[in-house]
Every structure is written in C-alpha cells, then in structure tokens.
Chain A
Amino acid sequence: QITLKESGATLVKPTQTLTLTCTFSGFSLSTSGVSVSWIRQPPGKALEWLALIYWDDDKRYSPSLKTRLTITKDTSKNQVVLTMTNMDPVDTATYYCAHEPAHSSGLFDSWGQGTLVIVSS
C-alpha cells in the first residue's frame, strides 16, 4: 500500500522561502521509471502541477514557476523536498505530493492528504 504525507511550514511571510517535505512508503524512488510530483490547489480553485522528480534524479518544473522551484529527493529517507522562493499571498494553497507509477507519464495514482500553506504577513 502506497502512502504519502506532506509536512512543512503552514504559515509563511511574503518573500520568504517555503520548504515542504513529502514522506512516503510502499514504493522506492530508486525503482526505474517511478516519480513523485508536487501539485497545489488554492482555496476554491483548480489543481496546478508544480514539479516532479524521477527515480534517476531527472527533474521537471512548471514553466511558469520554474525560476522559484527546486525539487530534491533523499532515497534513503523516502522523502522528496520542494522549495519555493519569494512566496506571495497568491501562493496560498493546499500542497499535495503524488506518486506516479513507472513509465506512466502523468498518472497520479496515490496522493498525500495535502498541507495548507498560508502566505501572510
């Protein structure tokens, strides 16, 4: 059974850097083809894909947020970390991490519960 759980700051000030950790179990990020994505959802709005990291450390970013995002992994700890710089109130959202099976290209079959991040001074 795959589980994922997001953790990190719940309240950040404008211009600060957000760091979120996704801790997972039930799969390994060293398995060929597997990836983990970060996805966010502002209150009452749509899902937005942010970034992903593959088993081989290859990374992809949303073109609109690429300059602000960094995704990394710690395979030994079963964790994926997302950092987002220069936070703004419009970045207030629930942030999810999700598992993408090997060679599936956009199939998020397991999701974390999400963590609400509020950006406010």
Chain B
Amino acid sequence: QSALTQPPSASGSPGQSVTISCTGTSRDVGGSDFVSWYQQHPGKAPRLIIYEVTKRPSGVPDRFSGSKSGNTASLTVSGLQPQDEADYYCSSFAGINRVFGGGTKLTVL
C-alpha cells in the first residue's frame, strides 16, 4: 500500500479558512468510511481531530471539519487561529491495514 497524498504545505491568515486534501484510491479512502485526521505540534504526539470522515472527538473545536468525495478526503480549518499552525496527517483504513498521508504543514501567516 502507498501513502496517501497530501500537499506538503498550506497557509492562511488568521480568520481565514484553509482546506487540506488527502488523496488515496478505491482500496483505502474511496472505499472506507474510516478516514481520520491528526494534528501534530512540534515535539508532540499526534492528536485525533476528525474520525470517520466527518466526526469530531469531544474537545475539538467545530472550526475543524472533514469531508470526502470519491478517493479524496478533505480537512477544512475555518477561522484560522495561531495555535492551528501544525502538521496535519490523514489516515485511512486500507483493507485490513492502515495507511497515513505524507503530512501537510499548515502555516498561519
């Protein structure tokens, strides 16, 4: 299985919205309702922010939202805040295994 494809970087100004894509295949993203997103600040462990494509764990602001179309999942961060600057990774169930994306560094300008 290959890693899911994410853009290496994304950016936006405070208050703006940014969308990060995650492209896979019909064997993972396209064929699974189990797509999740993780936020990782430098030196920290990843934190789950979206699961099952669109659901948010308790404690995650509703500024974070997820969606999926075909083989591409997306994470949208609305109302960007300085603390949103971090690396973001998508993950998908892939048959019997799991696979991560290459990560996207989000910069808040």
Seen from chain A, the residues whose Cβ lies within 8 Å of a Cβ on chain B are 37, 39, 45-49, 52, 60-63, 96, 104-109, 111-114
Contact = CB atoms under 8 A, between A and B. Distances in A.
A120 to B, nearest CB: 21
A60 B100 contact: no
Nearest to B33: A105
A109 B51 contact: yes
Interface residues of B, number: 27
Contact of B100 (A46, A107, A113): A46
A96 B45 CA distance: 8
Contact of B34 (A45, A62, A63, A105): A105
Contact of A104 (B51, B94, B101): B51
Interface of B: 1, 3, 32, 34-36, 38, 45-48, 51-52, 57, 89, 91-94, 96-103
A107 B52 contact: yes
Contact of B46 (A48, A52, A61, A108): A108
A107 B90 CA distance: 11
B71 to A, nearest CB: 16
Contacts of A112: 45
A114 B43 CA distance: 10
A55 B47 CA distance: 23
A46 B45 contact: no
26 contacts: A46-B89, A47-B91, A47-B100, A47-B103, A48-B100, A49-B91, A49-B100, A52-B98, A60-B98, A96-B46, A104-B34, A105-B93, A106-B36, A106-B91, A106-B92, A106-B93, A106-B94, A107-B34, A107-B36, A107-B52, A108-B48, A109-B51, A109-B57, A112-B45, A113-B45, A114-B45
Name which of A46, A96, A113 has the most chain B CB atoms within 10 A of its CB: A46
A96 B91 CA distance: 15
Given A47-B89, A112-B45, A107 B51 contact: yes
